Structure 1
């Protein structure tokens, strides 16, 4: 049966893809990645300090709707190597470029959540958009999230990582998914998975990434984009507030569409996966499910 993506003449990749594997970057870092399905490639970049498992709901959904889905663990995170150096947006973007080149991907949809939104933005700024047709920013840190948030907050995050990062991750789950809001029902499974993804990573990578996500300015990166960009942001995002990120990001690219969600949290691609998946699908295909 012909997939919807193929009917829309979007497919550029054929055949079976290899499940999960690793590449070794130029500096010797091993990057773990998943590569599932066939069709037009959708490449996902996760938030910090998580890993590619955070995209479970999206990988299954888009893989089941005729797309090839690729998601990697950023260096120092998940199942990738844990080097001492390289935990900055330029290197993250270069690692992503090496993965895309290795897989010979074209006609790509890039999707980034939180820090991953910065990663895909910097990738397009450093490596161009010749392989990219559209991009999606979900609860993302651009254009310059840290410039409008007190530095003391990030200093506190770094201190908590060094003091007791296991407890810090458990504590951060609550605002991440909006479980501190009236009427919210926390999923212990989501909480446990969040902690597990975090604790798999490197303390050095997580410490350095706080600086990368808070101090990197993506303003000119966004302004230079020439592909359509969908900006998705929850209005109750307690981690990356809409007013300092999504609202501003949507004003910079040449072709940007902003969609906001009343009451949705930072991790809305997990808590409201059905809504987010459908909106991304519509953006990619021009059709609703």
Structure 2
């Protein structure tokens, strides 16, 4: 994307976010979250965004929330949710704004709103002692939630193939991913979003571009279908949200047991600048590195991942 176009898009996003925030400028994030209501299988936020959610397992079981990656939805967690529900956990996952079956608001496609939407789900469903699990962009959502809302309702956290502390290469993050990479994503999204999603799912996301990889057409199809269900503008804006948001201050506010899991062959969110860096910044975090695992390890390594997550929950 040309720099002038990128600057215009960024400016428009900033204006939209400011406009959305002004309506509740005199209220704290917690006060705004408390105004959310439940309408069937939707949590409705104070600004009227409808967030589709799943609530599986025994309602009196220990609670686990799941925050999904870009450009997916809560369906991406189904293997973990059915596994944990069968082990007595109450598992809750929502489709992020602009994704899946949730509303597609033009504004607010940023980490602050993502985190506040998670707070709305937790508050509206009256969830307590939550273990908040986030994958990729969802890991950023969990980090920003703790940064903005604290851990009063959270007893544990898990960051899986997650984007914190900061993906983008900057002057004080020299090992990050260059801006041109994310500009390329934006360009491809505008040119042919369907092809972009097919290329990601059939290539680096699951490591299917590696020699000898066992390719699953079903996983590719599911990834593509979830992505195409999301809003075009929402997923476009979300590229900036997951790549350029700085979570370093949020990680300093983690004061609960935290599990970090990452693959050492993650071609989407490189291990050294993400999982390892986050674990180093979170006090007493437990880091587990899966040798040879790709970004989408929740599917490619789901048996091991499910057990590791269950072991962490039972501690």
User: What TM-score results when the alignment is normalised by the length of structure 2?
Assistant: 0.84
* Cross-structure match for 1:8: none
**Map of 2:206 onto structure 1:** 177
Local SS of the residue matching 1:35 = strand
- 2:312 is matched with 283
The aligned counterpart of 1:151 is 179
The answer on 1:36 being equivalent to 2:56 is yes
Tell me, which stretches of 5 or more residues in structure 1 are unaligned? 1-17
Of 238, 247, 251, 1:209 maps to: 238
Q: Distance in 1 between matches of 2:89 and 2:79?
A: 14
Aligned to 1:242: 271
* 1:133-152 correspondence runs (5 A): 133-147=155-169, 148-152=176-180
Unaligned runs of 5+ in 2: 1-37, 170-175
- Alpha carbons 2:167, 2:243 under 8 Å: kept: yes
Provide the C-alpha distance between the structure 2 equivalents of 1:164 and 1:220, rounded to a whole number of angstroms: 36
For 1:3, the equivalent position in structure 2 comes to none
CA contact (8 A) 2:164 2:246 kept: yes
Contact 1:226 1:255 in 2 (8 A): no
Task: Judge conservation of contact 1:73–1:79 (CA < 8 Å) in 2.
Answer: yes
Paired residue secondary structure (2:281): coil
Q: Secondary structure at the match of 1:61?
A: helix
232, 249, 257: which one aligns with 2:286: 257
Computed over aligned residues only, the root mean square deviation of the Cα atoms, in angstroms, reads: 1.0
**TM-score, with normalisation over the residues of structure 1?**
0.91
Alignment match, 1:220: 249
| 100, 107, 124: which one aligns with 2:146 | 124
Distance in 1 (CA, whole Å) between partners of 2:283 and 2:255 is: 6
* Equivalent position of 2:21 in the other structure: none
Between the aligned partners of 2:81 and 2:189, the Cα distance in structure 1 is 29
Q: Of the candidates 35, 41, 44, which is equivalent to residue 24 of structure 1?
A: 44
| Aligned-partner SS, 1:136 | strand
Q: How far apart in 2 are the matches of 1:90 and 1:229?
A: 21
Task: Give 1:165's match in structure 2, choosing from 193, 196, 214.
Answer: 193
Do 2:264 and 2:294's aligned partners in 1 also have CA atoms closer than 8 Å? yes
Question: Does structure 2 conserve the Cα–Cα contact (< 8 Å) formed by 1:236 and 1:266?
Answer: yes
Q: Deviations over 1:174-198 (max 9, x none)?
A: 1000001121111110000000000
Provide the aligned length of Structure 1 versus Structure 2. 268
User: What is the rounded CA distance, in whole Å, between the counterparts of 1:191 and 1:212 in structure 2?
Assistant: 24
Q: 1:200 aligns with which of 229, 232, 248?
A: 229
Secondary structure, aligned partner of 1:145: coil
CA contact (8 A) 2:65 2:91 kept: yes
Inter-partner Cα distance in structure 2 for 1:259 and 1:223: 20
In the alignment, what sits opposite 2:35?
A: none
Residues 127-156 of structure 1, C-alpha deviation per residue, up to 9 Å, x if partnerless? Answer: 110110100000000000123101000001
Shift of 1:255: 2.4
Asked if the contact 1:110/1:136 (under 8 Å) is kept, the reply is yes
